[in-house]
Amino acid sequence: MKRNVSLEEISDGRLYRHNDMVKADCHGCKGCHKCCVGMGHSVILDPYDVFRLQQGLGKNLTQLLAEEKVELSVTDGVILPNMRMAGEEERCACLDGDGRCGIHAYRPGVCRLFPLGRIYEDGDFRYFLQTGECGENGRKAFQGRSKVKVSRWIDTPDQVRNHDFICKWHYLVSDLEGKLSEADDLEESKRLNLLMLQIFYMEAYESQRDFYEQFEERLARWMDKGA
């Protein structure tokens, strides 16, 4: 999800790469679950998140939608799945009664990043550190964080291929947003949205096969359909 704020307002002003040390380690969150509550539609799932959830829980997106763990929402004109925030407190549907993530090992990439964010430029991205949002007391709590290597914090294997995938996915979604914002044909907008959902999300992934190979195959199909 894009945010219309300046980096100076929300970060320490630095940009980070995988091998950099960043003051993001919140020591197991110590009873805080602030970023699992009231997040609206912002915990968006990418295809790798859906693959990882399927591997860990044995459930595809259709099943997670049926269980109301996940919902579909429109972000910048594009229909994408996100973790559902439920009830008056708007708690993530995967947050357990003790305020811990019930799917920690398979949690989405957005959750792995926090309090880091990504900034995209020239076909690539770097990370920035959000200084006012992590911990119950925002900036005060931020002072208690320790340094950790970005790659360790993100806790995702095969980071070179993952980085490549994240870039491709980001620019694919951005292109689609552009097309949909210019489209005056509602039927075409609907077709593109449904096609993307179908190809990248609704068709179950093969849990035992390499994700990135499957993504490339689906990407080729997406391009073949003139999207």
Q: Per rule CB under 6 A, is residue 64 in the interface with ligand SF4?
A: no
Which residue in 140, 142, 141, 113 sits closest to 128, CA to CA?
Answer: 113
The rounded distance, in Å, linking the Cα atoms of 223 and 125 is 23
Binding-residue total with ligand SF4 (CB under 6 A):
21
Of the residues 92, 129, 166, 180, which one makes contact with ligand SF4 according to CB under 6 A:
92
β-strand pairing of 78-83 with 116-121 = unpaired
Burial bucket for residue 160 (CB in 10 Å: 0-12, 13-18, 19+) = exposed
Residues 103-122 that bind ligand SF4 (CB under 6 A): 103, 107-108, 111, 114-115
Q: Per rule CB under 6 A, is residue 35 in the interface with ligand SF4?
A: yes
Q: What is the helix (H) or strand (E) element at residue 119, kind and residue range?
A: strand 116-121
The rounded distance, in Å, linking the Cα atoms of 45 and 173 is 12
Pick the closer one to ligand SF4 by CB: 138 or 178. Answer: 138
Q: Per rule CB under 6 A, is residue 95 in the interface with ligand SF4?
A: yes
Of the residues 34, 126, 163, 221, which one makes contact with ligand SF4 according to CB under 6 A:
34
Of the residues 11, 16, 22, 36, which one makes contact with ligand SF4 according to CB under 6 A:
36
Q: Per rule CB under 6 A, is residue 154 in the interface with ligand SF4?
A: no
The rounded distance, in Å, linking the Cα atoms of 211 and 68 is 25
Angle of the 211-224 helix axis to the 47-57 helix axis, nearest 10: 140
Pick the closer one to ligand SF4 by CB: 52 or 107. Answer: 107
From the list 32-40, 152-160, 173-181, 196-204, the region that binds ligand SF4 by CB under 6 A is 32-40
Residues that bind ligand SF4 (CB under 6 A): 26, 29, 32-36, 43, 83, 92, 94-95, 101, 103, 107-108, 111, 114-115, 134-135
